[in-house]
Structure 1
Amino acid sequence: MNFDDFNIRDEIKTAIGEMGFNKLTPIQTKAIPDGLKGLDLICQAQTGSGKTLAFAIPLLDKIFVPDKSPQAIVLCPTRELCMQVAGEITKAGSKIKKLKVLAVYGGQPIGKQTRVLKKGVHVVVGTPGRVIDHIERGNLELIGVESVVLDEADEMLDMGFRDDIEFILAATPRQRQTLLFSATILDEVREIGEVYQKNPKFIKISSNKRTAPKIAQYYCECNIKDKFDSLCRLIEIQDSKLILIFCNTKKSVNFISKHLKKEEYSVDAIHGDMTQKARDKVMNKFRNGNINILVATDVAARGLDISGVDVVINYDVAQNSDDYTHRIGRTARAGRSGEAYNLVVKDEIPRFNKIKKDNKITRRDAPTLGEIENFKNNRILNDALEIIKNENIDEYEKIIKRNDLDSSKIAGAFLKMLREK
């Protein structure tokens, strides 16, 4: 199947084509037909599975544009995921004239969001707290809502949003369609479904391996006293790529970022105790390439979609396989490939062995100093070979020949200059 096989608006088909999508992912194949029928769904699918389009297409297909009141609401656990989901829905609906999609979240002036809501919005994507804020201020009326989506439902419940979710669901019409998407189906997720859905159909997307084959996964066993040094050595062979480092606690995040800065790496950090404004500032630096290393906790990085993350390093082993999947899913986005490394100390081995059962993770020792030196030398030589292959260097060759210089020695001298500058 492809998207043209669905009986949906031509505008949606055109927009999805321009987004570069043609083949359906498993969650899209199973969820979209039932979503278009108006069925309530509980879908278990991992991050990066294409689930946003799986609910966006049924949601967009029944929007009646002349009615400027909210007809669909999507709840997300974090500001970052809100922005990502709203962006995806906007792209998928970009050919529907006068369609309005708005993301509402904390950390942004509420007045700006209020003004847009007053003008009329068809789809609201929001964090539970800010959605309730707008409801209580009279800015957001949900009486006309036909579709409700709970995205990353397990994460919202883990973060303590159950009361908020139930408050919002109670403010929507009983005859609405409710689509629930979750990486894991916790008891709390099932309870929400039992109370607020009508005979929901359960869809589970599973595979023998939890993670994408385009992510090469490795682990390095190390002593606790050598762990930071091993981290630095891994970074040294990454050739200035965008690197995301995960820690289990805010204390570890602060420790790692502080000491990497001392080693003169281009690094910053995000965690849950930072203000939204401070987190936005750091994220913009990472997205814009002003820093190439970001150290984060799971909650702070949940829902991040940063194009171009090449490497994920788990400085602390993830708490479970689902957290591991979320972490390494930050790389290999949009068809790219990526790498994931795990630094494992003795106390973490039992937990890591459980994760390893679900994932193909290859053992690899941290690079030695000699290997790092070879890597850096080869990187310069490869760059030189690219110049020889693709650029005109005749004038520079003449200078070497005119001065009767030994080419191998002059090349060695230039390599020394580049390495020691």
Structure 2
Amino acid sequence: MTNFENLGLSQDLLKAIQQMGFESPSEVQQQAIPVLLQEETDLVALAQTGTGKTAAFGFPLIQQIDLGKKKTQGLILSPTRELCLQITNEIEKYSQFIGGMKTVAIYGGASISDQERQINRGAHIIVATPGRMKDMISRRMIDITEIDVCVLDEADEMLNMGFYEDIQDILKNTPKDRKTWLFSATMPKEVAQIAKDFMKTPQEITVGRKNVSTKNVSHEYFLVGGRDRYPALKRLVDVNPDIYAAVFCRTKRDTQKVAEKLIEDGYSAAALHGDLSQQQRDLVMKSFRNKQVQMLVATDVAARGIDVDDITHVINYQLPDEIETYTHRSGRTGRAGKTGKSLVIVTKGELRKIKQIEKIIGQKFVEDEIPTGDEICKKQLFYLAGKIATNEASKDIDTFLPQLEEQLAELSKEDLIKKFFSVEFDRFNSYYKKQNELRTPSASEKDFQGKGRADFGNENRFFINLGRKDGLDWMQLKDFLKEALDFGRDDVGKVDVMDTFSFFNVDKSKTDTVLEILNNLELNGRKVSVEITEKKSKGGGRGRGDRNRSRSGSGGGHRKGKPSGFKSGQKNNSKSKSFARRRAKNS
């Protein structure tokens, strides 16, 4: 078996490795470290998150630093502040027995002048996010003209986040003879392009197949109706009492909303997304690492800094827009040789994405049923029993033991067990007795997102006076409608966005709700106006008449800024008027 002593590492590094409890190198470390120590070469290393990539480039980089020179000799670029800080922390641990080694983190959201002072005091290695690094270079606060090595960590994610030009500008300020080490979980064409543009005949190391998920992670999906995502999430959490999870949402707004709902329902949860300040994000991550927070609800961008070995589950509350991102999500669990589960909550219209992901990760998903209330209550009950059986009793209770025995003397063993467990068990039991079981949609049911429901007989098509000039695309408008109406994601369909107005479909049973709520809203100081479109006697098919009207622009076919052929959904609507009066009274 290969060990760290066989890789050519210095005694100071081996001492740190022993101190940190590393036993044997991972596959990417076995392959990368000897190459980077022995050869003057560029390198492309492809390995999944959680396989030890930081040590794979960190150990060789540290060993090649000349402590006699104060200049910056190594630059590590990473996509996010969290990952930047994580790498810096790891590099400092690796070099703990190397006197005089200085590593500085450079990232946005912190004082740029403080970071400049740290650099001026000497920094052998700089770990930076591309945006802040480019900013400091342009202000002449930093000099990387003599670096020996540039590491591009999580290269695929940096490119997904739009940092290609920043990386290009940064590398222009580095020596042409520098070594470039690129580490990535996946190999999309953009990563191949950066290797072509900025590297000289790089060696390539691949751990497993490209873009393939680790075998330590199992993948399951749960099919639900559009409005059942959150109830499904609660059940998945409740049926796993010892869960320590990362929950992924697609947008910052959904991330915050799901976290708030979980907290309201008594769960230990926190949100991590780009709208939080750096201090807030640091506090959230600290709480999660210390297990004061059981569930971290995050966006994909914010989650790049999650490097925690003990995560038991990844829950995909929503699938990512970019299918390849799923690999990064699932890589948050099953780390350091441990097993983990990646669970996906999907609607019927998203099933095609499951098939696409299976091809990318090289593994099959297992379809599972959302647990019933009885299953959850049983799991919680026996989990509690197990905790009690294995818990070491506190000696502090001995003082009160005689009084407790006296107070409970009349209870039989059976009554005592019943009463004791009822204290904790009843809250689950009473809650799930009141809840309907979540039903898996049948094959005959069609999803708004899919090709089904070509017949809009059970839906109304609505006009709304918001469009591209309000800064909305179809996805943003759909999110706005979903949140305003408190609808599930699939309750709003067939969204078509024009310049100054848009169309969308909603089930007829929800018509009053749509008209009553939306016509009492404003967006950016502008009053929202919603009406039901008139049906065409001919032409049919997915709003063909709507598209014909939209081509006329703001000129022909419009009256007072609205397309012709519309009637107000508010006229003669007594329910709408009474709702408006109630709303005014309560506001």
Say yes or no: TM over 0.5.
yes
> How big is the shift at 1:246?
0.5
Could you say if the C-alpha distance between residues 402 and 190 of structure 1 is closer, same or farther in structure 2, counting changes exceeding 3 Å?
closer
Do the aligned residues in 2 keep the contact of 1:246 with 1:314 (CA within 8 Å)?
yes
Do the aligned residues in 1 keep the contact of 2:187 with 2:211 (CA within 8 Å)?
no
Q: Which residue of 2 aligns with 1:416?
A: 422
Q: Which residue of 2 aligns with 1:33?
A: 34
TM-score by length of 2: 0.67
**Distance in 2 of aligned mates of 1:415 and 1:21:** 42
Q: Which residue of 2 aligns with 1:21?
A: 22
Choose the corresponding residue for 2:405, options 399, 404, 409: 399
TM-score by length of 1: 0.91
Q: Which residue of 1 aligns with 2:96?
A: 94
Q: Which residue of 2 aligns with 1:128?
A: 130
**Distance in 1 of aligned mates of 2:9 and 2:386:** 50
5 Å-filtered alignment, 1:138-217, equals 138-207=140-209, 210-217=212-219
**Distance in 2 of aligned mates of 1:398 and 1:416:** 18
Could you say if the C-alpha distance between residues 326 and 402 of structure 1 is closer, same or farther in structure 2, counting changes exceeding 3 Å?
closer
Alignment-mate amino acid for residue 422 of structure 2? K
> How big is the shift at 1:240?
5.4
**Distance in 2 of aligned mates of 1:350 and 1:371:** 29
> How big is the shift at 1:282?
2.9
The higher radius of gyration belongs to 2
> How big is the shift at 1:339?
2.7
- 1:283-316 residue CA offsets vs partner (Å, 9 max, x unmatched): 3333344432221111111132135322211111
SS of 1:412's partner is: helix
Could you say if the C-alpha distance between residues 369 and 113 of structure 1 is closer, same or farther in structure 2, counting changes exceeding 3 Å?
same
- 1:129-154 residue CA offsets vs partner (Å, 9 max, x unmatched): 11122223333111221011111111
- 1:206-252 residue CA offsets vs partner (Å, 9 max, x unmatched): 24993334334322111222222111111112325332111122232
Alignment-mate amino acid for residue 103 of structure 1? A
**Distance in 1 of aligned mates of 2:265 and 2:198:** 53
Could you say if the C-alpha distance between residues 412 and 205 of structure 1 is closer, same or farther in structure 2, counting changes exceeding 3 Å?
same
Identity %: 36
Q: How many residues align?
A: 420
Choose the corresponding residue for 2:108, options 102, 106, 109: 106
Unmatched segments (≥5 aa) in structure 2 = 428-587
Do the aligned residues in 1 keep the contact of 2:75 with 2:150 (CA within 8 Å)?
yes
**Distance in 1 of aligned mates of 2:15 and 2:286:** 31
Could you say if the C-alpha distance between residues 6 and 290 of structure 1 is closer, same or farther in structure 2, counting changes exceeding 3 Å?
closer
SS of 2:312's partner is: strand
**Distance in 2 of aligned mates of 1:295 and 1:230:** 15
Could you say if the C-alpha distance between residues 226 and 7 of structure 1 is closer, same or farther in structure 2, counting changes exceeding 3 Å?
closer
Q: Which residue of 2 aligns with 1:61?
A: 63
Alignment-mate amino acid for residue 13 of structure 1? L
5 Å-filtered alignment, 1:7-406, equals 7-36=8-37, 37-207=39-209, 210-239=212-241, 241-319=243-321, 322-357=324-359, 358-387=362-391, 395=401, 399=405, 403-406=409-412
- 1:151-174 residue CA offsets vs partner (Å, 9 max, x unmatched): 111111121111211111111111
RMSD: 2.6
Alignment-mate amino acid for residue 372 of structure 1? I
SS of 1:331's partner is: coil
Alignment-mate amino acid for residue 82 of structure 2? E
> How big is the shift at 1:63?
0.6
Q: Which has the larger displacement, 17-26 or 90-99?
A: 17-26
